[in-house]
Structure 1
Amino acid sequence: QPDFQTPAHIVEAAIKALRDGHHGYTPAQGILPLRESVAKDLHKRHGVEVSPDNIVIMPGGKPTMFFAVLMFGQPGMEIMYPDPGFPIYRSMIQYSGAKAVPIALKEENGFAFSADEVLAQITPKTSLIILNSPGNPTGGAVPKEEVAKLVAGLAKHPHVTVMSDEIYSQMLYDGREHESFLRYPEIRDRLIILDGWSKTYAMTGWRLGFSVWPKSIVDTVVRLCVNNHSCVNAPTQFAGIAALEGPQDDVVKMVKAFDERRRAIVPMLNQLPGFTCVNPGGAFYAFPNITGTGMSARELQNRMLEEAGVATVAGTSFGIHGEGYIRFSYANSIENIRKAIERVGTLLMEKR
């Protein structure tokens, strides 16, 4: 998670909401001023029109994933998901009874999906495709050309819905621009967008997210909200408005800091014996190839923690295609990153 504090004006908005008496239940779909603010923000960032009626405010990002999988997953169906990818995708698919079909994200493609490969995996049983760009754990960012090619190919598969997890969409580097699936009206009636405040505004603990749903299933989603979590707490929603409509200086500073750390950690990782690391295009993770060390991802993860005091996550925690990789988060100071890599270097040299 980001190692920054939530910007002060956002915190103050929540405090003011409490002092103003916003202590009760809110609508299950989210308060209208926040949904209107989200719609304006989506227009500003992506140049698209989204009705507030199609937006649902959630307590974080996971409810959107869970509800989408519950609605489209059942025994006999197939749901595709990115691998290596956020482990909750596969977990929720398996819970639903559907078959989890991995979309292999390959190092040679910068861990971006290949539209041709995704389309080739679709079967009559495919009900949902989950996508995530920029991605966790790889930092891979999908170029516009692949998004457009995928959307064009989906015209032949009208039975397939897409859930695009765009939670890291404002964390891109080297001049990259996020290509949201919202920009393609031809799939809007079978598109679910997941986004939120956690990463962009350093609000992970606030538990505030939003999703955009096809008009035909919004009422079903809201009923799930009523039965699952009732509503998102009031002061957090007012904080969400302040985040979107207030100054964005802190967002710019945070992304700049992450980019500086990215530029620092990747060369350091590439100097480690047995490591090679591509430049992540977004988010705040590096995903080096560690096959040259001769260790499995799990073994190296454990040894780095136990012998060097460096916490990482084995690629196998993110799917069947994660073997041979380790996730490093650079949501920390360059000084601490440097100390961590030095410790790992010492460990690897001693192993030799």
Structure 2
Amino acid sequence: MITPLPAGSTIGIIGGGQLGRMLAMAAARLGYRTIVLEPQADCPAAQTANRQIVAAYDDAHGLAELARECAVVTYEFENVPVEAIAALAADVAVFPPARALEVAQDRLAEKTAINAMGIATARFLAVDDDTMLAAGIEGFGGNGVLKTRRLGYDGKGQRVFRNASRQDAAGVFAAMGNAPLILEAFVEFEREVSAIAARGQDGRVVAYDAAENVHRDGILHTSTVPAQVSEATLAQARNAAATILEGLDYVGVIGVEFFVLSDGALIVNEIAPRVHNSGHWTEAACMVSQFEQHIRAICGLPLGDPARHSDCVMENLIGEDVARVGDLLAESGVMVHLYGKAQARPGRKMGHFTRLGG
């Protein structure tokens, strides 16, 4: 039997961005307090949490204080140092586990682990110098996407090769920072979808309906539900997400991104061990949002029903898109969520809105 964390307990959140902000809001609705650990003062999450510890993610004193004050700790993004999470877990419950973070932080480890679970990904190979890159370009027919193995997001840390030759590899490894890289083969896909799923401390798994995603400049633009795929494809997405959750002994919400092939089959693009941008629609179209689901999972509460009551489209407000808010607020059937960021910059997520469609 899992003993739920009683109301009034304190949840620690490492990371102070918009995901932490929305987790703190969900926690408050369920009667929990939250403390955010984030080096940037007055971060978006601090505006909704009860307290902020201003410290680096690997600061020993800050982490020790978080462990003393909290009954459970989670994180809102996957670039938190694994060593810090592993050390923290010796003093307080941490969900998702450090193993999930370790796998998700390295694209090579991620794809290797997913393949070991019997789930398909794009072909890939490690690249540690220009010679390995040249061989990879040749092996993949001159086409592929070169990525940093660690710390990349929203299209950053990537280079695309089209009809390239071995000679095009010269100097690339140094240009990309002499950091470990991975070359992924191109995938001929029809659309991109993502599955948001959760696993509780008791092992129960629930999954939301898959969203169909459109990206612009490497950043998520819209997520539409329902996705225009078959029921067999939806079932495959749910099953793959469940397999990954169980394989990682995961607790909490995970985002799994897929490419949909012409025959409806799926291959995994990447996983995110946290609540996910493509699941923001759940706060408007479901009784239990992905944020509440995550809080339920890490606190040992029963997982909620992931069913949606409406079709919808979620759209990110990027940079100056935030100027549209006045018009959006005048519409019926639109939920607007701003992140409390003072300055709009190109490529910066300022908020999102979800338009219900029935």
TM-score exceeds 0.5: no
Larger fraction in helix: 1
* Greater RCO (CA < 8 Å, at least 6 residues apart): 1
* TM-score (ref. length: structure 2): 0.29
Structure 1-normalised TM-score? 0.29
